[in-house]
Amino acid sequence: MIKPVIGPQKTTHPLIWCAAVICTVFTVVVIITGVIVFVGYLVIRPKVPFVRVISAHLDSFSFYETGMLSTGFTIVIRAQNDNEKAHASFSGFRYALSFHGLDVARLEAMSFDVGKNRSVDMKYSFTSAPVPLDSEHLNEADLSLKENLIAFDLKGSTRARWRIGFLGSVNFYCHLNCHLFFQRNGNITHNSRCSSKSK
C-alpha cells in the first residue's frame, strides 16, 4: 500500500493578509462616507445658486449716417441663493452685451455675498460709447427698427461658491448665454428669458 507523502503545509504570506485587511478597511470607509454624504444631502437639500435677468429696458437706440451706434440700457441682474442653510458668494461677475456680435457694454461687479434664502440685485443703467458700424451692422440696425424687434445678446459667467454643511464647499459657474429682444419703445418682449438656472 502506497503511503501519501506529507510535506510542509503552505501558509498565506503576511503581506497578502495585510493587503486584504487594508482593502477591507478601505471598502468600509468608502461605504460609510457614501452613506454620510447621501444622508447629508437628504437633510440639507442643497440648491445651486443662479443668476437671471429680472428686468431690462432699452432706453435709447440710435445710429447715424456716419455709422455710429449709440445705445442706452437699464438692466437688473439678480443673484439668487435658495439655500436655507448656506450662504453663497459670487465672484468674477462679468457679462458682455452685444448687438449681432458687436460688443456695446460690459456688466461687471466686485465679489459679493448672498445670505441664506436671499437674493442681491445688480442694477446697471448706462449709455454706451458710440460704436462704429460696418455696412452689415447698419443694415441690421435699420431692419431691427423697421421690424420693431431689436435683438441683443448677453453672455458671460460668474462663479458661485457655497458651503454644504459638513460636506464642504462647492463651486459652480453661472453661465448666461441668451437673447434679449426689445421693441422700439424700449420694452423687453416676453420671450426674452435669461437665467443660468436649468429649466
> Are residues 115 and 97 part of one domain?
yes
> Residue 83: its pLDDT value, please?
86
H or E element: which one contains 177?
strand 169-182
> Residue 183: its pLDDT value, please?
93
Q: Is the pTM of this model over 0.85?
A: no
Helices (H) and strands (E) in the chain, counts: 2, 9
Phi, psi at residue 176, to the nearest 5°? -120, 135
> Residue 170: its pLDDT value, please?
83
Which domain does 96 fall in, by range? 50-182
> Are residues 80 and 32 part of one domain?
no
> Are residues 77 and 19 part of one domain?
no
> Residue 167: its pLDDT value, please?
62
What is the four-CA torsion angle of 183, 152, 58, 77, rounded to 10 degrees? 120
> Residue 40: its pLDDT value, please?
55
Q: Which grid cell is 28?
A: 468600509
Q: Which residue type, as a one-letter code, is found at position 32?
A: I
In a domain, 199, yes or no: no
> Are residues 70 and 134 part of one domain?
yes
Q: Provide the CATH number for the domain around residue 131.
A: 2.60.40
* Lowest mean pLDDT segment, chosen from 5-9, 105-109, 192-196: 5-9
> Are residues 119 and 70 part of one domain?
yes
**Cα separation, 160 vs 163, whole angstroms:** 10
Place of cell 440700457: 73
* Lowest mean pLDDT segment, chosen from 75-79, 131-135, 172-176: 131-135
Confidence at 38, pLDDT banded by 50, 70, 90: low
Above 80 in pLDDT, residue 2? no
Q: Where are the alpha helices (DSSP H) in the chain?
A: 14-44, 135-147
What lies within 8 Å, CB to CB, of 109 at 6+ separation is 90, 93, 122
> Residue 176: its pLDDT value, please?
95
> Residue 47: its pLDDT value, please?
80
> Are residues 132 and 149 part of one domain?
yes
With helix as H, strand as E and coil as C, how does 116-170 read?
CCEEEEEEEEEECCCEECCHHHHHHHHHHHHHCCEEEEEEEEEEEEEECHHHCEE
The number of residues in the chain equals: 199
Q: Per-residue pLDDT tens for 105-146?
A: 999 999 999 999 999 999 999 998 888 988 888 899 989 989
